[in-house]
Structure 1
Amino acid sequence: MTFRPDMRGLAVLAAGTLALTACSAGSLGSSDDSGGGPGASTVTITYLIGNQDQDIKTANQIVKDFTAKNAGITVKTETRPAGTEGDNLVKTRLSTGDMPEVFNYNTGSLFQAIAPQKNLVPLGDQPYVKDLDENFTKTVTADGQVYGVPGGGFMGGGVLYSIPVYTKLGLKVPTTWAEFMANNAKIKAAGGVAPVIQTYGETWTSQLFVLGDFHNVAAAEPDFADRYTKNQAKYATSAAAVKGFEHTQAVHDAGYENTDFASAKLPDGLRMLAQGKGAHYPMLSGVIANMVDTYPDAASKVGLFALPGDDASKNGLTVWTPGGNYIPKTTTGDKLEAAKKFLAFFASPDGCASLSKAAPPTGPYAVKGCTLPDDVPQAIKDMQPYLDKPGGSSLALEFVSPVKGPSLEQITVEVGSGIRKAKDGAARYDEDVKKQAQQLGLAGW
């Protein structure tokens, strides 16, 4: 169920040895690394991050702003490979007691895999924990203890839409699937605009109607994730879960896709949307910054709404949480206190502002009191009401169940291209996840 190729697919890039990168802009004060012992003027801690350019840029900005307010603390950064190699390195360094004082890593099932109760410092006694969004804390909690703070903003999985098209045709943002399909019918009848953009030339983009629909699945079957993990629920036999596949088929069968859906790629889809040649694009909010960079007018001309389900009263957004920042139990003494201050900065409005300086937000921050910059694109602003509304958002399935399969993107391309029917696609995906669940040793498989 890999869904973010340029965020997760890039994460499989092989990397060699770790590169130690001193953040000169943020390493204020003495370079003494004594940990605050007698005669030391500063405490030095190291922050382990991913090796992608944006990871490094964000860390540099955070370190610079944090140390400007904490002159007695020096923060160095160290990078690690992404993907499986990085996962193995994190586990190895935790098991050998060689982990830096603070590290950034995944949330959800991969967080559970690093044995947080054994390896991490619990943060439940920190005052800022009460200000963390519940969607986030669910993904960094083990045995009732919170262990991490967010390292960025949420991403939403919804429908990016052309505001000018909606305005011209007098359409309203849909809160049910029936309303969405009615809008598509009006757009097609008006001519000249593809109702739904699909870009199967990059197969990962085909999955949104399934993965972004999980808020609706959870609203209809609150225990689906738990039963799914135990092999007691299936996509093909769940009336709620199969709808994502059915919706993928329905859009194709109605002829609502762009004519080049089979070969178009993400840049084509973003261009069509930005130029008003396509009305809807089911997509992650993480692509918005790239679209606006290329098409600045899209900042005000493209909005976002949650994938609609059957019940307007339960309409809400499926969200992907940011990575977490953690402190290993091997961090002690003055270094531990410095590390806690560093994490507290991430979980504060000042920390959110620092993140916004480093890169345009992918969505609202997971910290109460943090606000989005006034100049963020409209589609990002559109996410905030869902996060603010009780019950208005739900975690993507990958954060509440470790059961995933590698072939979903190929299956959804087949369903969305008319090659395979929805029920057959759902059943095929149920088979696809079985091998991984067995490899994980999950009960019931």
Structure 2
Amino acid sequence: MKKKVLSLILAGTMTLGLALTGCSGGSDNGGSDSDGGSTAAEDTGSDEGGSGDGDKPYAGITLKWWAGNAENNPGTQAVMEAATEKLGMEFEVEVNPGGSEGDNIIKTRMASGDLPDFMAYNSGSKLYDLNPSRGFMDISDWDIVDKFDDAFLSSVTIDGAVYGAPQSSTQAGAVIYYKPDYEELKLEVPHTWDEFVDNCKALSDAGKTPVYFTGGETWATQVLFLGDYYNIAAANPTFADDYTEGKAKYADVAEATRSWTKYEDLVDYLNADKSAATVTDGNFAIATGEATHWFILTQQLPLILENAENPDDIGVFGVPGDDADNHGLTVWEPMSWYVNKDTENVDAIKAFFEFYYSEEALDLYFGTYGANGPSCIKGYELPESVCSAVRVDMQKYFDDGKTVPALEYQSPIKGTTCEQMTTAVGLGQMSGEEAAAMYDDDCKKSAVQLGYDWK
């Protein structure tokens, strides 16, 4: 059997739309154009070393970095400008085109030794696929690593080497909901799936649309299934390993099958345009109360809040399971910073990272750009400008220790037709049990291609 991949970033369709601003009152028009060559600060220095200025010890150094538009955002730019003012180094960014093109570029450049000083790239299995020891520095002995929580570290650690540092915040696959409907009908946040369905019935009886479904943009229909992983793992702690090895299947593990049959429970509570509605429609529907619940990645919060009358009208809770005392949240880890192992500017990068993870810089980043979930920095509290859906609702799950990384961070196996199946079950075109069995067959193809011995 192949060595277990420690983590897997959700790839393909689930990463569509990640170039969004965070949940805050700050600017939402970040990032540079995709033609590359833009700078977070004007390039007035060189790569040859610091000037020796005691006030700005790294004046004269230009750090070259590589990232997508989502990472080259107003928050990152603000921190880099502050670092230039405080430490002296300048920054020059090359913009990653994203997707498979960006993946191929980094693989080619890694093979040729043509990497910038540092870069932003996925955590998880995409990191594993790069064979990072070829090009990235092991930062295990850097002081900043002690600040990162264990869940994040597991997504950037391979063979005992730590390669990454969190570029931004976490996010979750969860229920985003319109709080005024709950207040009007005196509903409580549900802690079991039966309670959730009861709430949906009460909302339907009151003439409201209980759940929004975006069959017109199928990647988003996966979130109920993927976000339910906390409940699978709570009942089956070894599921990720067993699934990777082919010992556990969705059709054979009751809680895993339940992730599929939950769609059946909601068929009568969906929006009338469920087969055509898009994610943009969902953002507006939840913001205005056109619908009450939406199973979606919390990366959508800032776009929802653009249309919300009051940001505190929008809340978040984890996909409920069957244990009211163990209601948790399935979490996606952020993109990461990686350092070129051959850079000549290690000290400057280390100094920048030490600043980047200071409370001053974190407040600047999240106050400018916002957050899609709690920070990966232990003990750090998000600023008041971050919406309560993240700062209060999601943070409580982290504080209570009731989070788990999505399965895609713990196993490399994921079928290629997941979104088509979740859409079909959501629209009532097949049963959850049928979909679970079909998904197992689809995952077997993936496992065999990856070299795993699935029966």
Same fold by TM-score greater than 0.5: yes
Partner of 1:117: 133
State the shift of 1:413 in Å.
1.0
After superposition, residues 185-334 of structure 1 pair within 5 angstroms as 185-189=201-205, 191-252=206-267, 255-297=268-310, 299-332=311-344
Question: What's the CA shift string for 1:20-50, capped at 9, x where partnerless?
Answer: 223335x5xx513213499995232211112
Q: Secondary structure at the match of 1:340?
A: helix
User: Partners of 2:19 and 2:387 in 1: how far apart?
Assistant: 23
- Give the residue type in structure 2 aligned to 1:237: D
The residue type equivalent to 2:38 in the other structure is T
The residue correspondences of 1:27-106 to structure 2 (distance < 5 A) are: 27=43, 30-36=44-50, 42-50=60-68, 52=69, 55-71=72-88, 73-106=89-122
Counting aligned pairs with the same residue, the percent is 35
Query: For the structure 1 residues 43 and 213, does the alpha-carbon distance in structure 2 shift closer, same or farther, using more than 3 Å as the test?
Result: same
* 8 Å CA contact 2:444, 2:454 repeated in 1: no
Distance in 2, Cα, partners of 1:62 & 1:152: 12
CA distance in 2, matches of 1:151, 1:182: 40
| 1:365 Cα deviation from its structure 2 partner | 1.2
- Any conservation in 2 of the 1:349–1:371 contact (CA below 8 Å)? no
Moved more, 95-104 or 53-62: 53-62
- Long gaps (5+) in structure 2: 1-10, 21-32
- In 1, Cα distance between equivalents of 2:297 and 2:97: 24
Compared CA separation, residues 53 and 416, structure 1 to 2 (3 A): closer
Query: Which range moved further: 354-363 or 237-246?
Result: 354-363
Code of the residue aligned with 2:60 in structure 1: it is T
Alpha-carbon contact 2:67-2:95 (below 8 Å) kept = yes
**Aligned-partner residue type, residue 338 of structure 1:** A
Give 1:336 deviation, angstroms. Answer: 0.9
Deviation at 1:54, TM superposition (A): 5.9
Q: Is 2:430 the partner of 1:430?
A: no
- 1:338-369 deviation line (CA, Å, top 9, x unaligned): 11222223333233223224422111111124
1:244, distance to aligned residue in structure 2 (A) = 1.1
Q: Per the alignment, do residues 302 and 154 of structure 1 end up closer, same or farther by CA in structure 2, a change over 3 Å counting?
A: same
Give distance in 2, aligned partners of 1:444 and 1:368: 38
Contact kept, 8 Å, 1:230 with 1:442, in 2: the verdict is yes
The answer for the alignment partner of 1:371 in structure 2 is 381
Aligned to 1:12: none
Which amino acid is 1:241 matched to?
A
Give the residue type in structure 2 aligned to 1:49: A
Q: Which moved more, 1:30-39 or 1:139-148?
A: 30-39
Q: Could you tell me which of 119, 126, 130 is aligned with 2:142? A: 126
- Where 2:413 maps in the other structure, the secondary structure is coil
Report how many aligned residue pairs link the two structures: 427
Shift of 1:144: 2.4
**Structure 1 residues 176 and 284: alpha-carbon distance in aligned structure 2, compared to 1, 3 A threshold:** same
Indicate the residue corresponding to 1:23 in structure 2. Answer: 40
Match of 2:407 among 397, 405, 415: 397
CA RMSD of aligned residues (A): 2.4
Amino acid of the structure 2 residue aligned with 1:111? L
TM-score after normalising by structure 1 = 0.90
Q: What does residue 155 of structure 1 align with? A: 171
Superposition deviation, residue 321 in structure 1: 1.0
TM-score by length of 2: 0.88
